[in-house]
Amino acid sequence: MTDTAVYRGMDQATLDRQYSPSSRVPSLGAYLREYARRSTAARRCHPVRTGLAYGGHPAEVLDYFPGRPGPGRPPLLVFVHGGNWQALGRAESAFPVPPLLAAGAAVAVVEYGLAPDVGLDAMAGMVRRAIDWLLRHADRLGFASNRLHLCGTSAGAHLAAMALLPGPPHGPDVSGRIAGAVLLSGMYDLEPVRLSYVNEALRLDEAGARRNSPLGLLPARLPRLVVARGGNETEEYVRQHDRMVAALRPRAAVCEVVAERRDHFDLPYDLGVRGTGLGDAVLAQMELGGAAT
C-alpha cells in the first residue's frame, strides 16, 4: 500500500468517486427533476395527507397516501429517501407511490433532518420515531399495523437497516414491529464513507461510523428482506450490497435482486411495478400478489 492509499488500496480521488453514485450516470440533475415531476403528479392524482408531524423537530414530518378501499386494511410501505444524508426530502420522494397504491398498499413518505445540521445518530432516531408514530396511529390512518414494511434507497437504505436493529440508543425500538424491509443500493459499513468526501457533511469519527454501521450490528433474527441494487453501480456499492446479503442470509428470508438495466437512481422506479424483479419481490413480501422470486 502506498502513502496515497486511503482505503482498500484506493487513493482519495478513487474512494470519493466510488461513493459518488452520480459518477456512473450522465446527469444527476435529470433524475432529480424527474423525481420532482413524478412526485408532484402523485400528489395531484392521489389522495394524500401532507405534513403529518411525527416528532418535535421541524423535519419530522411525513406524507401519507391511504390505500384504496377494500374488504380489509391494506399493508403500509414506508419510504425513506436517499441523497447521501444531505439532500432531497418528501417533496421529491413520492415518485414510487402510484404503482404501490395500484397494487393495494398504503404509502408513507418520510422526511428527516439532513447533514450537516443533523447528525447521523439523530437521523436514525427520526426514522424510528416515524415508524413508531405510524404504528401508534394505524387505526386512524387505516392500515394494518401488523403489515408495516420499511423501504429505503441509498442513504435511506442505511437508515432503514438501522431501524431493524434492537435496542437503539436514539429513538424507540421498532425492530420487532416491522413485517419486512426493502433495502435498495445501500451503504451498510460506514468506515469507507467516513474516509470519503461524504464525511465533510456527516462529520463521523471512528466510533460514530461503527455505531452507525448496521453490517456489524445485525441481530440473530430479522424480518423478511428484499435487498436490491442496480446493474450500473460503483464497485464499492456492489461490494457493500454483496457483504450485506451474505450477512443477512443466516438471519432472515432474503430475496436478492440485481436489476441489470437499472442504476442507483432509477432502481426505485420499479417499486410496486408488476413484471419487474424488484416490483414482484416487494409485492410478494407484502402479500399483494407479486411473483415469488
Quick one: cell of 166?
434492537
DSSP character string of 184-252: ES-----HHHHTSTTHHHH---HHHHHHT-GGGT--S---EEEEEEEEE--HHHHHHHHHHHHHHTTTS
Indicate the SS3 state at residue 182: strand
Percent of the chain at pLDDT > 70 equals: 98
For residue 291, is pLDDT > 70? Answer: no
pLDDT of res. 3? 57
Q: What is the C-alpha to C-alpha distance for residues 104 and 283, in angstroms, rounded to an integer?
A: 9
- What tens digit of pLDDT does each residue of 30-79 get? 999 999 999 999 999 999 999 999 999 999 999 999 998 878 999 999 99
Q: What is the C-alpha to C-alpha distance for residues 69 and 200, in angstroms, rounded to an integer?
A: 46
Indicate the SS3 state at residue 10: strand
- What tens digit of pLDDT does each residue of 11-20 get? 999 999 999 9
pLDDT of res. 144? 97
Contact call for residues 84 and 198 (beta carbons, < 8 A): yes
Segment (H or E) for 279: helix 277-285
**What does the mean pLDDT of the chain come to?**
96
- What tens digit of pLDDT does each residue of 81-107 get? 999 999 999 999 999 999 999 999 999
- What tens digit of pLDDT does each residue of 269-279 get? 999 999 999 99
Contact call for residues 134 and 148 (beta carbons, < 8 A): yes
- CA geometry: angle 198, 131, 103, nearest 5 deg: 100
- Predicted model pTM: 0.96
Q: What is the C-alpha to C-alpha distance for residues 198 and 232, in angstroms, rounded to an integer?
A: 20
- What tens digit of pLDDT does each residue of 110-127 get? 999 999 999 999 999 999
Label residue 217 by pLDDT band (50, 70, 90). Answer: very high
Q: What is the C-alpha to C-alpha distance for residues 245 and 165, in angstroms, rounded to an integer?
A: 16
As a whole number, mean pLDDT of residues 222-244 equals 98
pLDDT of res. 290? 54
Q: What is the C-alpha to C-alpha distance for residues 106 and 66, in angstroms, rounded to an integer?
A: 5
Indicate the SS3 state at residue 49: strand
For residue 1, is pLDDT > 50? Answer: no
Q: What is the C-alpha to C-alpha distance for residues 144 and 164, in angstroms, rounded to an integer?
A: 19
Q: What is the C-alpha to C-alpha distance for residues 84 and 87, in angstroms, rounded to an integer?
A: 7
Label residue 132 by pLDDT band (50, 70, 90). Answer: very high
Q: Which domains does the chain have, with CATH numbers?
A: 5-285 (3.40.50.1820)
Residues 6+ apart with CB under 8 A from 25: 31, 232, 263, 264, 265
- What tens digit of pLDDT does each residue of 147-189 get? 999 999 999 999 999 999 998 778 999 999 999 999 999 999 9
- What are the E-state strand segments in 38-142? 49-53, 61-65, 76-80, 106-110
Q: What is the C-alpha to C-alpha distance for residues 133 and 129, in angstroms, rounded to an integer?
A: 6
